[in-house]
Amino acid sequence: MAIQTPRSRPAAPAASSAAAASTNELSHGRLSRGAPWIILGVSLAVAAAVFWLFAVAGMTEGFNAIGAALVGVLIYLVMIVVISRQVEGARQATDRFVTALVTGAFVIAVIPLVSLLVTVFANGLARFDGTFFSNSMRNITDDGGGALHAIVGTLLMTGTAAIISIPIGLLTAIYLVEYGRGPLARAITFFVDVMTGIPSIVAGLFAFALFAIFFGPGVRMGFAGAVALSVLMIPVVVRSCEEMLRVVPNELREAAYALGVPKWLTVLKVVLPTSIAGITTGIMLAIARVIGETAPLLIVAGFTSSMNYNLFDDRMQSLPVFVFTSYANQGVDTQAFLDRAWAGALTLILIVMLLNLVARVVARVFAPKLGR
* pTM: predicted TM-score of the whole model, two decimal places: 0.78
Question: Which pLDDT score is estimated for 15?
Answer: 47
Per-residue pLDDT of the chain (372 residues; tens, 9 = 90+): 444 444 444 544 544 554 444 444 444 578 888 888 999 999 999 999 988 888 888 777 778 888 888 889 899 999 999 999 988 888 988 999 999 999 989 988 998 889 999 999 999 998 888 888 988 888 877 788 889 999 999 999 999 999 999 999 999 999 999 998 889 999 999 999 999 888 999 999 999 999 999 888 888 999 999 999 999 999 999 999 999 999 999 999 999 999 999 999 999 989 998 888 889 888 988 898 899 889 999 999 988 888 999 999 889 999 999 999 988 888 778 888 899 999 999 999 999 888 888 888 877 777 666 554
DSSP 305-328: SS----TTSS----HHHHHHHHHH
Phi-psi region of 58 (alpha: psi -120 to 50; beta: other; left: phi over 0): left
| Domains of the chain listed by start with CATH number | 34-125 (no CATH), 131-366 (1.10.3720.10)
Which contacts of 321-324 are long-range, i.e. CB under 8 A and separated by 24 or more positions?
321/150, 321/294, 321/297, 322/147, 322/150, 323/294, 323/348, 324/294, 324/298
Question: Which pLDDT score is estimated for 372?
Answer: 45
Separation CA 136–CA 132 (nearest Å): 8
Question: Which pLDDT score is estimated for 359?
Answer: 80
Question: Which pLDDT score is estimated for 369?
Answer: 64
Residues 169, 192 contacting (CB under 8 angstroms): no
Question: Which pLDDT score is estimated for 108?
Answer: 87
